[in-house]
Structure 1
Amino acid sequence: MVERLFESKEGSHGGESFSQIPNLSLNKRTFSGGKLWESSVCGKVLSHHSSLNRHIISYIRHKLSKCQEYGEKTHSAGISFSCQRSFQIHGRTHTGDKPYKCKECGKAFRYYQSAQRHEKAHTGEKPYKCKECGKPFIYRHSARAHERNHIVQKRYECKQCGKTYISSVGFQAHERTHTGEKPYECQKCGKVFVYHNSAKRHEKTHTREKPYKCRECGKAFSYHYTAQKHEKNHTAQKHYECKLCGKTYMSRLGFKAHESIHTGDKPFECQKCGKAFRYYYSAQRHERIHTGEKPYKCRECGKAFYCCSSAKRHEGIHTATKQYECKECGKMYVSLLGLRTHERTHTGEKPYECKQCGKAFSNSSYIHIHQRIHTGEKPYECKECGKLFSFRTGFRVHIRMHTGEKPYKCEDCGNAFIWRTSLQYHMRKVNSINV
């Protein structure tokens, strides 16, 4: 039986010659309790001859299915397979073969089960439910992890807010949000952090370390999740192609947003001033100008911003090294763009011109503000009286009429004024009387 098994495998890529397989003789041993059979290869003792036969067959299969990608040393470490099917699947780790593709987005997978799990993300199917509260999940492991929150006793309770934790590490990290303690300090700039991983991420801004590389094009990234997101651009199939410029997109939403560039369509309109936007998130961000909402705060100084990107740019002022110096006045800047914009104050260059009236500006943001004169846009609304304003300066000055604030004070007589022009008029009047 052993010889027949070997003959069926001999000559295959995964097999070995008969001389390489150890002598599989059977040692019959007699004990007081009866006959036992011992394998001469591993010394395993079995009570029946048939059991020993099965043991020998499994050993031969084990040897024949060893992966050829590894050397003899690795073989001895135990990287081997009991069946041909497992051996074939393992081979994909070396060949890079991913035979199972998602029908929706084209993403490829090495294993059938992985492809099945991924497709649930498109269908919205959540077959696994928590036995305690019924919350549905896409993946079984997610449901099991959630169930543990019900089962495991949370021993650590925060006295400030009542939140409970399973581990002391998680509890101690939470307590810092109340105490303000920041034990992890950056060795470069001295900035402190609540969490160790936050400090590690921050340190990469100084070293400019980018340890994660795209396996397709070699582009480097500071964070693993950024590299993974980038790699999807290479592997995922792009279903939607623009007929005008040929640009392709993976999602229908991204494709529709791109099409509006050619058509000029701006479907998202501000309910306050009627200004239209190409993207939904742009309309959302704009509406904060009317409401005054500034949800993004600088973690260093607390300054608030309308959008996340503005807050991140501002935070760079605290952490980044100013390496760009103006040769005219010596002022330092974090970015080359900031320096170039500043240099125009010395050169007088004004590259941004209004198409309506021809007025030129040194900064792109200035021309956007100026264009409100022509469009009639008034994004600033007074909550007290409902009056609308095109510019922030006029809006802020108007609010003083309601608050009673008078920031401009005469140093001679102590009289205060809402507007700077009122103080200037007052000073001229006082000087003429004194003369």
Structure 2
Amino acid sequence: MSGGVLSELRSAAVKMEFVKEESEEDISELETWRIKHEEPEPLIIKHEEPEPLIIKHEEQGEFNEGNEENVELSESEKKKHIKTKKKPWSCSQTKQKVLKKRRAKTSFTCTQCGKSFTSKYSLNVHMRVHTGEKPFKCSDCDKRFIYSGDLKTHERIHSGEKLYRCDQCGKSFARKGHLNRHMRVHTGEKPFTCDQCGKSFRQSAHLKDHMMIHTGEKWHTCDQCDKTFLRASDLTKHMIVHTKEKPHSCYLCGKSYSCLQSLKVHQKIHTAVREHVCFECDKTFTLAKYLKQHERIHCGETPYECSHCDKRFSQAAHLKRHERIHTGEKPYKCSHCDKRFSRSGHLKRHERIHTGEKPYKCSHCDKRFCQSGDLKKHERIHTGEKPYHCTACGNRFIQLSALHRHTKNNHSK
């Protein structure tokens, strides 16, 4: 073998050894190349230079999310990736740098309020707040929503579904936020504190009402009954009592209500399971508070005491109505003659004098009456019922006034 050929083989052996040290796994592939080609040196030079594996795209402007290798690395990182045969993304530090660059370059900013988002989709969803677009529609009441999650929560009103249950008292709620707010009743937590006097409240709305005391904000007074309210919106709701307006209608039965909350309570008759059962008489209720009020009939509980005459009541509303006897308060005013009443039912009955409305019809002779009591007395003419009897002589009468007149004329001393 000539000296020139021997020298060439030795040189090739040295280069083969260098390649083996750089990458053990690629030696078989490199050796195959060398066996097939008599002059492998140009091939070895190409594999020694790793630069083509890492392509710089920084000059191209925005980062290309589809290419994982278009990130410039330092010399030490290049060697590290060549030895391990791992892509640049597999190194956590490098990945963090890439993600940071990507966030900076792919930030989508709202031109209306300046809020930024990581994706164009999130920005498009956010823009509905400004445009008023509400693509999600309730199939039961046609109400529309910006977000699908809000629609899902709203639909629980119709289905009666209450996913969130209090583990203290068993009360259920349609929203988690409502449960969290309710739990403060049990924990005693009052996170909303007045910075003026230090008084704390369970709800932010209660703190807001309280702050009016310190700010000197004017109260809103009803010109019909002189009742005052902290908020103008509350006064507006109250005025419906006087105008008789009932803008909130049940889409199932058509019944109307002046207050939205009253409509919501009513709709549970149609949609909600009457899960609250009285064990005394098996009567069912949609709300736990209604069951609690009802149970007082059986147990005789009367927790509400009149401060004027010590009379007691099972419900707070009944006490409030009774106390008007002592205070003389008559909050219900007739819009026709300015006459005032202590009960709304009395006002309604009185106004029929002005309107001529006669909702009570006799089933025997088609005669109509303004009041149910008058209809009842009239029907006794047809039925012959005489519920009032004289204890002295046993005579019976259709009307109580007739009994009083008989007693006065015949049995008075």
Q: Aligned pair 1:202/2:155, yes or no? A: yes
Of 184, 197, 214, the residue aligned with 1:243 is: 197
Q: CA separation in 2, counterparts of 1:291 and 1:61?
A: 82
Cα distance in 2 for partners of 1:350, 1:224 equals: 34
Q: Match for 1:40: what amino acid?
A: P
Instruction: Tell me the secondary structure at the aligned position of residue 294 of structure 1.
Output: coil
- Report the Cα distance in structure 2 between the residues aligned to 1:327 and 1:386, rounded to whole angstroms: 47
Residue by residue over 1:353-376, the C-alpha shift from the partner in whole angstroms, topping out at 9 and shown as x without a partner, is: 222333322222222333333444
> What pairs with 1:128-147 in structure 2 (closer than 5 Å)?
137-139=112-114, 145=127
Query: Amino acid of the residue matched to residue 50 of structure 2?
Result: S
Q: Does 1:291 align with 2:243?
A: yes
Contact 1:193 1:199 in 2 (8 A): no
1:17-416 superposed matches below 5 A: 40=50, 42-43=52-53, 58-60=72-74, 75-76=89-90, 80=94, 86=100, 137-139=112-114, 145=127, 182=139, 192=140, 198=151, 201-202=154-155, 208-209=162-163, 240-245=194-199, 255=207, 257-258=209-210, 267-410=219-362, 414-416=366-368
Summarize the Cα distance change of 1:354–1:414 in structure 2 as closer, same or farther, 3 Å threshold: same
Greater alpha carbon shift after TM alignment, 413-422 vs 424-433 = 424-433
**Structure-2 change in CA distance of 1:319 and 1:421 (3 Å):** closer
Residue type matched to 1:138 in 2? C
- Greater share of helix residues, 1 or 2? 2
- The structure-2 alpha-carbon separation of the partners of 1:277 and 1:74, relative to structure 1 and needing over 3 Å to count, comes to farther
Q: Residue 74 and residue 194 in structure 1: after superposition, are their counterparts in 2 closer, same or farther (change >3 A)?
A: farther
Instruction: Assess, with a 3 A threshold, how the Cα gap between structure 1 residues 73 and 248 changes in structure 2: closer, same or farther.
Output: farther
Relative to structure 1, the CA distance from residue 425 to residue 266 in structure 2 (aligned partners, 3 Å threshold; closer, same or farther) is: farther
Distance in 2 of aligned mates of 1:409 and 1:56: 88
Instruction: Tell me which amino acid in the other structure corresponds to 1:313.
Output: V
Q: Is the 8 A contact 1:379 1:389 kept in 2?
A: yes
- Decide whether aligned partners of structure 1 residues 401 and 81 sit closer, same or farther in structure 2, where only a CA change above 3 A counts: same
Instruction: State the alpha-carbon separation in 1 of the partners of residues 173 and 380 from structure 2.
Output: 61
The separation in 2 between residues aligned to 1:56 and 1:417, in whole angstroms, is: 90
Mapped partners of 1:228, 1:330: distance in 2:
31
Q: How far does the alpha carbon of each residue in 1:155-197 deviate from its partner, in whole angstroms, 9 at most, with x for none?
A: xxxxxxxxxx9xxx96xx88xx9xxxx5xxxxxxxxx565895
SS at match of 1:59: coil
Deviations 1:302-342 (A, max 9, x none): 32223332222222222221122222322111233221211
TM-score, normalized by length of structure 1? 0.49
| 8 Å contact from structure 2 (residues 200, 207) kept in 1 | no
- Name the structure 2 match of 1:109: none
Q: Give distance in 2, aligned partners of 1:202 and 1:56.
A: 48
- SS of equivalent to 1:272: coil
CA contact (8 A) 2:88 2:94 kept: no
Query: Structure 1 pair 303/372, CA: closer, same or farther in 2 (3 Å)?
Result: farther
Q: Deviations over 1:65-107 (max 9, x none)?
A: xxxxxxx9994499955859948x99xxxxxxxxxxxxxxxxx
Indicate the SS of the match to 1:371: helix
Give yes or no for contact 2:194–2:200 (8 Å, CA) kept in 1.
no
**What percent identity do the matched residue pairs reach?**
29
**8 A Cα contact 1:354 1:367, kept in partner:** yes
Amino acid at match of 2:197: K
Query: For residue 324 of structure 1, what is the amino acid of its counterpart?
Result: H
Q: 1:396 to 1:239 in 2, by over 3 A?
A: closer
Residues 125-173 of structure 1: CA deviation (Å, up to 9, x unaligned): xx96xxxxxxxx434768x958x98xxxxxxxxxxxxxxx9xxx96xx8
Tell me by how many angstroms 1:228 deviates.
12
CA contact (8 A) 1:380 1:395 kept: yes
What is the CA-CA distance between 1:58 and the residue it aligns to? 2.1
Look up the equivalent residue of 2:261 and give its one-letter code. Answer: S
Q: CA deviation at 1:289?
A: 0.9
Cα distance change of structure 1 residues 266 and 345 upon mapping to structure 2, 3 Å threshold: farther
Structure 1 portions without partners, runs of 5+ = 1-18, 20-28, 30-35, 47-54, 65-71, 91-112, 118-126, 129-136, 150-164, 183-191, 212-219, 231-236
Whether contact under 8 Å (2:331, 2:341) holds in the other structure is yes
1:315 counterpart SS class = helix
Q: 1:406 to 1:266 in 2, by over 3 A?
A: same
Distance 1:375 1:63, change over 3 A: farther
Q: Measured at CA, do residues 200 and 43 of structure 1 come closer, stay the same or move farther in structure 2, by a change above 3 Å?
A: same
Distance 1:57 1:406 in 2: 86
Q: Which sections of structure 2, spanning at least 5 residues, go unmatched?
A: 1-21, 23-41, 57-68, 79-85, 116-122, 166-171, 183-190, 385-396, 399-413
